[in-house]
A and B are shown apart, each in its own frame.
Chain A
């Protein structure tokens, strides 16, 4: 009996030695990966390093099914302050919206966002309702939520599978809204393993049909931070598309709280 035990230990030890140390590590990692949940993946996507604020210029190209194009340009700034993330947008073109600005304060503790709009013709900063996050932004195929306003806890996330595309591994995560009356019945995201960046997303309407598809066409490191440069949202039900191109990107641009005020909305500084 004792001899048998010793023999078993020797066999196991020999097998382990033969399989190599890397194999042991891989097995441990795989075990960890197998445990990772959809929520944890999306947490990592939401909490990816975005620096201490960002300044960028956003170009939106709206393309209808006949190929006719309309272009909108926005200069935007955002930064987190303690419990609140502040964002300010200045509309540069077309001409009839030039000078308009939009400001959003998003609270991490679950309170409703505060939103304001400045209309130069009225010379007035107006508070607007932040309830309608599912409204489309400037006639594009992006809703305010699609533009990044949605919070992690507003959906239940589930890891569906892992997929290999062009040699890269993606986590495929399904997100179902907690509130049933939301514009989408579910979304499915393709998250690049280890980089925690979503490169594809499908949006399903309330009937469960595929409504829109978001594809990231280009991403790169800017100031050491992985950044989506070009993306396209296509509405598959009406063949309308919106391309988003980001330029003049600067992380940690030294923004302070005074950037996100009524004064700046009016002056466009």
Chain B
């Protein structure tokens, strides 16, 4: 078991990345002659969110997203700070979404810093897209990409024509972020012990992800390998002391994805095989701490269809626990499905959208209708809702958003 030092984790990881970034920037500036103009853009949003379950509850948020890009002769410096203000809570917050330096050469790129990377062919559902951990506190989810956290990493790309070999090194582990209430709901009278939750930032604890991707006439495909920590902790239980300890385990993942076009359809698929995944079990006699290690297989199939102003998309994801036993709390087969119907009007200025998300194991069906109007190229309006059509954990909202780009 790894020793814990939350302070050290944050400090050491940040120092490594910051030093590497500064050295790279210095190196780059020394060898740069041609400097292009910087590009700065801002996205200011005002969002009003009304909780349908609690008529007294509403939130008014102001969000400012700034993008700064500076191109040098063989590199790009990218900085994306984010500011928010919650009028209801009277809370201001700021964070650096991303900050990285991308160095590029003939057939080689190197990106260093805090960044987001997307893998695979799925939209929203996670199979091979394991680079960035998720943040489940961002609710309601307005865009799938918002659910991922940026990570400190070094990304190296080597190009062979239309093919790419990508290696990502994450020196520090970053877990998924959960709402405290979600965890509390699963404690069942146990006390929580977070002493085993952290992973110390050491070389042996760093994470590696490798991907080979190719674009071709008929097929695009990706093959991936990952040696990472499970972003979701497994709850180890001590029945005597009535203590629950969240623990992250090492995972070895191998997988791939593809997409291909058949007439007006685009077919997509993803698959992974995971070794080292832990699940909770009720059989404390056979399995210490109520956890058991089982391999896992994930399979995803998706289809997109577009005709004139219409766009349709459907995905189904199956997760299978191999050598499953009845005592394992999670079912052997679990399914998630997504459906999207989108239609554009008025020369792409008005977009109407209905997306559905179904989680079969939770018996939860979420509908997300949305209408977005592009008033000018700088001002947009969006009205939408997140509405649970089936399920118990209701958190229904309607929202209205204005967006100003400058």
Contact = CB atoms under 8 A, between A and B. Distances in A.
Interface of A: 62, 70-71, 93-96, 98, 105, 107, 111-112, 114, 116, 121-132, 134-136, 138-140, 240, 257-258, 261-263, 267, 269
B380 A96 contact: yes
A129 B306 contact: yes
Given A123-B118, A126-B259, A127-B261, 12 more contacts: A94-B377, A95-B41, A112-B261, A122-B123, A125-B220, A128-B266, A129-B264, A131-B261, A132-B308, A139-B349, A261-B215, A263-B157
Contacts of A131: 261, 263-264
A127 B118 contact: no
Given A96-B377, A267-B102, A261 B159 contact: yes
A139 B143 CA distance: 23
A123 B374 CA distance: 22
B307 interface: yes
B161 interface: yes
A140 B304 CA distance: 24
B306 A132 contact: yes
B116 interface: yes
Contacts of A116: 215, 220
A107 B217 CA distance: 9
Contacts of B307: 132
A107 B348 CA distance: 29
B155 to A, nearest CB: 12
Interface in B246-272: 259-261, 263-266
A129 B347 contact: no
A55 B389 CA distance: 51
Contacts, number: 102
10 contacts: A70-B377, A105-B217, A114-B217, A116-B215, A127-B261, A128-B266, A129-B261, A129-B304, A140-B347, A258-B159
Contacts of A138: 348
A131 B307 CA distance: 9
A110 B76 CA distance: 39
Contacts of B305: 129
B213 interface: yes
Given A132-B308, A139-B349, A269-B104, A123 B261 contact: no
Nearest to A135: B308
In the A-B complex, the 6 residue pairs with the closest CB atoms: A94-B377, A139-B347, A123-B118, A139-B348, A131-B264, A95-B405
B242 to A, nearest CB: 44
Given A95-B405, A98-B41, A124 B107 contact: no
A269 B72 CA distance: 12
A125 B348 contact: no
B107 A258 contact: yes
B293 interface: no
Contacts of B261: 112, 114, 127-131
B159 A95 contact: no
A122 B143 CA distance: 9
Contacts of A261: 159, 161-162, 215
B164 A263 contact: yes
Nearest to A238: B347
A94 B376 CA distance: 10
Contacts of A124: 118
A121 B217 contact: no
A123 B116 contact: yes
B264 A122 contact: no
Nearest to B74: A269
A199 B216 CA distance: 36
A111 B217 contact: yes
B30 to A, nearest CB: 22
B179 interface: no
A130 B261 CA distance: 8
A70 B348 CA distance: 12
A77 to B, nearest CB: 16
B161 to A, nearest CB: 6
B340 to A, nearest CB: 13
Nearest to A64: B347
A66 to B, nearest CB: 14
Interface string B144-157: 11000000000001
Contact of B145 (A123, A127, A240): A123
B265 A129 contact: yes
A116 B217 CA distance: 11
B378 interface: yes
Contact of B259 (A122, A123, A127): A127
A140 B348 CA distance: 9
Contacts of B109: 263, 267
Contacts of A125: 215, 220
B53 to A, nearest CB: 30
